[in-house]
Structure formats: structure tokens, C-alpha cells
Structure 1
């Protein structure tokens, strides 16, 4: 029996999703670090952010600081898991990116442009992690 000795090739679609997954991992780490910094600022100094308009979902800014700090640590850890190619990292990445969309929506009155940008990045992260099946997948 002969084995197929043809070199392995990667399709353009696989390389696109593979690159998207790597980029999603980097974005998760960056978003996590920025959320950590945002949380520290909100905890340390309540007057740094001002609320824009009246909003149904009102939280104390210190509470938002702790939410962002905790979420940022977990998001950054999941980003490192994605970069290492772990399955738990991808699953956690999808779940945490979804949670980040909800948190940023609720945070809109304090940082509207950043919240919208962070929600858009989270949508990309979900797409990239959901379309990439596994690292090192053999294609024949």
C-alpha cells in the first residue's frame, strides 16, 4: 500500500480563518488589557468618566470599574489560551466576546465610542473563533 506523499497544502479559506483566529487571540489580549486599565481608572477616580444623557441601565462607576477589571483579566487569559491554540480558549473566547458585547452595551453612556468599537471587535472575534475548526488540521 502506498501512502500519499503529496505535500500538504492549505486552502485559502483555511489560511484566512487561521489568520483570523490568531488576530482574534491578539485582539482578546488587547481588549482585556484595555478593560483592566479602564476598570482601574473607574475604581480609582469616579469623576474621570461622565455619563452621556439618561440611560435605563444605571450602575455606580465604581461597580463598572470592578466589572471591567474582572472581565478584562478573564478576557486576556482567554486570549492567551487562543494564542496557545487550546480548545478551551476558543470556547471561552466566544463566550467572553458575547459577554463583552452585553457589558459594552450597558456601558454606552460612559464611553460611547469605545463601547461601539469594542462591540464591533467582539463580533469579529466571535466570527473568527466560530469559523476556525482546529489548529493543525490536515487537509488532503
Structure 2
């Protein structure tokens, strides 16, 4: 079965961008997930109970820093859609920084961070493969 007339050029134009498009979607999804988790953790109170007593941990500053990194990751994902070499490198750096921030925030929102680390890791791998072959 052949493709309808006029769509072959569009498919050929996007054939080389499949990796970056998927990576951009994963980066954007991880960034939005991180953004929701960071903003949500600013409203929660974290308490640590030790031998010496009870301590309240304020993570508001770290949460806003994490939200900024998440917003930068979403912007990098929009830049990755172009498929340029600099965009791919920017996406790789953003994914690596986001993974580091997710590891720091892991004790406070473990389920959100597990998902975000997975999405960022897969996006980083896709971008790495695209950078080596493209």
C-alpha cells in the first residue's frame, strides 16, 4: 500500500528527527512532573524524629530551585525539537542537571522523582545516541 500523494516529503523530513522529538517529549514530561512535585513540596511540612528530639525541615528554597531547574528543562525540551547539535547538547546538559536535582529531592517526593529520573535518563540516552549518529 502506498502513502497518499504529498505526504512522503513530510515523512522524509521528520524521519531524522524521531529521536529528538521523542527525547523532547520525555524531557518536557519530566520537567512538568518535576515542576508539579517541586511546587507541591513547598506546601508540605517535613519532620525528622531523632534521639535528640523532633526537627522541622524547611525545603522551600530547595523546592524553588528545583522548580527553576524543571522550567529550564522544559525550555531545553522545546529547543531540542529543532534537532540542531547545540540543542541536543543543551538537552543533554539539562537532563543531567535535572537528574542530579531529582536525586537531591528524592527523600521528599520519592515517587515523583523516580518517574522523573526515569524519563530524564531515557531522554538523555536518546539524545546521546542521536548526537553520536547525527
Q: Name the TM-score, length of structure 2 as normaliser.
A: 0.70
Consecutive unaligned residues in structure 2, runs of 5 or more: 1-14, 51-56
**Would the aligned equivalents of 2:33 and 2:116 in 1 still touch at CA under 8 Å?**
no
In structure 2, C-alpha distance between the alignment counterparts of 1:41 and 1:53, rounded to whole Å: 22
Aligned residues: 114
- Cα pair distance change 1:117/1:36, threshold 3 Å: closer
Q: In the TM superposition, what is the alpha-carbon distance from 1:38 to its structure 2 partner?
A: 2.5
Alignment of 1:49-128 (within 5 A): 50=46, 60-128=58-126
Give how far 1:63 is off: 1.6
Which consecutive segments of 4 or more residues in structure 1 shift more than 6 A?
51-54
State how far apart, in whole Å, the 2-side matches of 1:101 and 1:133 are.
Answer: 19
RMSD: 2.8
- Distance in structure 2 (CA, Å) of the matches to 1:53 and 1:84: 49
Asked if structure 2 preserves the Cα contact closer than 8 Å seen for 1:107 and 1:115, the reply is yes
Does the 8 A contact of 1:39 with 1:68 survive in 2? yes
After superposition, the Cα gap between the structure-2 partners of 1:103 and 1:53, relative to the gap in structure 1 and judged at 3 Å, is farther
Structure 1 unaligned spans of 5+: 1-14
CA deviations 1:8-28 (Å, max 9, x no partner) are xxxxxxx6x842321110111
Verify the 8 A CA contact 1:51 1:109 in the aligned structure 2.
Answer: no
Q: TM-score, normalised by structure 1?
A: 0.67
